[in-house]
Amino acid sequence: MASYFDEHDCEPTTESSTPFSQANNLLLQLARMLLEQGPDFEMDLTSLTPGERQAPPASKAAVESLKAVQITPSQAAKGASCPVCLAEFDEYEFVKVMPCQHKFHPSCILPWLSKTNSCPVCRHELPTDDPEYEEARKEKERAKEREAQLDMLHNAMYG
């Protein structure tokens, strides 16, 4: 007897379907659309973070301080490529490195960072020039710290 997948002529999906990786792919798709459509493309990122406001662009200072590195021959030989346009990097090509170490063509990542502040691969956030957003983000971090401290306290008392 044929299996379900034979009968329906489809393959079980091998891609991870966790919400994070979906959001992840969606960000890269948006980054590609932005490249295709140009700077007037209106991105709607609110669907990625329901209930939260859309992240503002990365701050100018943060973008300017992104390191540019040259692709080494061994990186090029391994087929290192730009996550946005998927083109392989050339030897000695200059690329922009995010703090999370993800590398992009400047022409691929800079338009993206003028729209929003996170790495399209891993969502690592760059600082923004938006005081309200920064305040909300700090508040979130403080809440996380408080939670961690409570955990520690709890472990010290009962662990």
Q: Which residues bind Zn ion (CB under 5 A)?
A: 82, 84-85, 100, 102, 105, 108, 119, 121-122, 124
Least distance to Zn ion, CB of residue 101, Å: 7
Q: Which is nearer to Zn ion, 78 or 142 (CB)?
A: 78
Q: How far apart are CA 59 and CA 127, in angstroms?
A: 6
Beta partners for residue 68, in sequence order: 96
DSSP H/E element including 111: helix 106-113
Least distance to Zn ion, CB of residue 107, Å: 7
Least distance to Zn ion, CB of residue 95, Å: 8
Q: Which pair of tokens denotes residue 116?
A: 């929003």
Q: Which is nearer to Zn ion, 95 or 133 (CB)?
A: 95
Q: Which is nearer to Zn ion, 37 or 149 (CB)?
A: 37
Beta partners for residue 97, in sequence order: 67, 103
Q: How far apart are CA 124 and CA 104, in angstroms?
A: 14
Least distance to Zn ion, CB of residue 89, Å: 8
Residues 97, 69: contact at Cβ < 8 Å? Answer: yes
Least distance to Zn ion, CB of residue 33, Å: 14
Q: Which is nearer to Zn ion, 113 or 121 (CB)?
A: 121
Q: How far apart are CA 97 and CA 57, in angstroms?
A: 17
Q: How far apart are CA 143 and CA 73, in angstroms?
A: 44
Say whether 69 sits in a helix, a strand or coil.
Answer: strand
Q: Which is nearer to Zn ion, 119 or 133 (CB)?
A: 119
